[in-house]
């Protein structure tokens, strides 16, 4: 019995260390990617200033400020795993650009719902888009808007671009919900640039 307990504890420690190492690597890659973005931003601003285009530089500073506000709201989501995943999404999704929008302040830890299950569901659905997106002439874009309402958490997902054929993405997303919330498809059509789809997820409050 002592040997079995020792072996179980050893496996648990090994698994915990692997998860911790993965989190560290993800954090390092995310910081590196953000540093690269900042270098690009500085080069663009420097170019506008050298060309004596202060209006263009001011517009670009506003864009940087908007992006920083989004990152700040991501960090204040009240769920570290989901926050880290969203911040790291750009480093994982090389065939897809994620645009985030928040309707007001949002902190999952302060809402009467199962934050861990909701976060796992959102991560799973975003992974579906990330995996199914394929390279194309036009950029693939996924827009995600989150809002806390009187009834629960409302999440709108709008995708434009190409994705791989296979099992219906809506069916896979509904399976990930597993009774936790409701999924409604608001748009699904073909365009010249690829597929266009918009769906809404609603996670009701538990109390």
Quick one: residue 161, left, alpha or beta (phi over 0 = left, psi -120 to 50 = alpha)?
Answer: left
Outline where DSSP puts E strands in 57-193.
97-102, 141-148, 152-161, 182-191
User: Which domains, from first to last, does the chain contain?
Assistant: 76-204 (3.30.565.10)
* Distance, CA of 20 to CA of 178 (rounded, Å): 28
- Which structure tokens are listed for 27? 């954090």
pTM for the structure as a whole: 0.78
Per-residue pLDDT of the chain (207 residues; tens, 9 = 90+): 665 565 667 666 666 666 666 666 666 666 666 677 778 888 888 898 889 998 999 998 898 888 889 988 998 999 988 998 998 887 777 788 899 999 988 999 898 988 999 999 999 999 988 888 887 767 888 999 999 988 889 999 998 888 776 567 888 888 888 888 889 887 776 666 567 788 899 999 876
Question: How many Cβ atoms from other residues are within 10 Å of residue 93's Cβ?
Answer: 18
């Amino acid at each position: 019995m002592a040997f079995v307990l020792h072996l179980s504890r050893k496996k648990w420690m090994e698994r915990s260390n692997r998860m911790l190492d993965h989190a560290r690597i993800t954090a390092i890659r995310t910081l590196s990617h953000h540093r690269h973005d900042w270098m690009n931003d500085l080069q663009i601003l420097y170019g506008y200033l050298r060309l004596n285009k202060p209006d263009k530089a001011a517009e670009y500073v506003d864009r940087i400020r908007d992006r920083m506000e989004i990152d700040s709201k991501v960090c204040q989501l009240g769920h570290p795993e989901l926050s880290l995943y969203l911040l790291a999404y750009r480093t994982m999704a090389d065939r897809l650009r994620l645009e985030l929008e928040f309707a007001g302040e949002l902190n999952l830890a302060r809402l009467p719902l199962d934050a861990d299950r909701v976060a796992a569901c959102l991560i799973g659905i975003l992974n579906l888009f990330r995996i199914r997106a394929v390279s194309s002439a036009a950029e693939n874009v996924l827009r995600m808007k989150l809002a806390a309402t009187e009834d629960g958490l409302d999440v709108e997902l709008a995708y434009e671009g190409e994705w791989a054929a296979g099992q219906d993405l809506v069916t896979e997303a509904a399976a990930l919900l597993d009774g936790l919330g409701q999924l409604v498809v608001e748009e699904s059509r073909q365009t010249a640039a690829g597929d266009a789809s918009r769906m809404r997820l609603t996670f009701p409050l538990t109390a």
